[in-house]
Structure 1
Amino acid sequence: MSQPDLNFTITGSLPFFSGKKPAAMSCWSLGEVAPRFCFKCTAQGPCVAKFGPLPSKWQMPSPEPSCVNKTADWRLKILQNGLYLIYGQVAPNTAYKGRAPFEVQLRKNEDPIQALTNNSMIQNVGGAYEFHAGDVIDLIFNAEHQVLKNKTYWGIFLLTNPQFIS
């Protein structure tokens, strides 16, 4: 699975939220995470962040997006309510012989929202999730050396901020 480039420009709207035909749309194929997904950008530009693979640090457009804030390696704080797409890949270190069982968790506020336990192949992580301002999202491992950090990464971008009528 190739890694998306953080330098892009997209306009338009998501037809399943607005009911309108989009003016311009960008659709990415993200493998098993989301076979084909379309998204929009806000007037301030894309709200996107990516961690890894190497260098193992957060990569964000400049200026930093207003929807997320990096708080630590592998961890973000959500600043804006909305529907987000998380994408990534986890490459297990098959040479790891430690005692800890292989487990990688994508968490929201320290509660698992996805867990990977297959240490024999590269796996995709992510999906579309509704997050609220203040939520903390992270990707954790049972043991630091269980994954190949040069082939493991994850990212997030804001798909839309729907205004539902109750």
Structure 2
Amino acid sequence: MTTIYKDGEFVEENWTRADAETGTSVAGNALVSQSLFLEAAEDYLGRDGETAVLVEAGDDVEKLAPYLGRLAYVAVDFPSFADGRGFSAARVLREQIGYQGDIRAAGKYILDQVPLARRCGVSSFEISKPEVLKALKAGEWPEVTKYLQPVGTVDEMPVGTRPWARRSFRDVAVAAE
């Protein structure tokens, strides 16, 4: 069982990771790497159980476009907290391809990256680090309210004269009446 954080709640899910050995014969819900999935997409989608795809760092997520409506979710791997390619993959899925389904962060991200991943379109988190689980259960949310890159998934306003500087609407003080 894996702990998933989504919409402020924790749920336990059970997905079997398919590999080259198990292939499409994996039983139940299967999480498949993008490279394996693209080799036999229709076979994975036609078996019993739901199918989700794991996008690894460096994968071209645009190749998933024809299948996105039939996937349970797309997991984006963060192989290291210092590797930002997961953020880029999530943004391409949301902003360029228009994927409306669940994008799940998986791997070795840290708590400080959770709000930033949400800005990029990630909607759920597979939690593998106990310190991230503990902090989220304690209600910690290290929100950043000023950004240097605009995204298309969050309502923001420009800051000053720099067109690339943004501020969250949550950061604007409300005048008292």
Q: TM-score when scaled to structure 2?
A: 0.27
- The structure with more radius of gyration: 2
Q: TM-score when scaled to structure 1?
A: 0.28
Q: Which has the higher helix share?
A: 2
Q: Which has the higher strand share?
A: 1
Relative contact order: is structure 1 or structure 2 higher (C-alpha 8 Å, sep ≥ 6)? 1
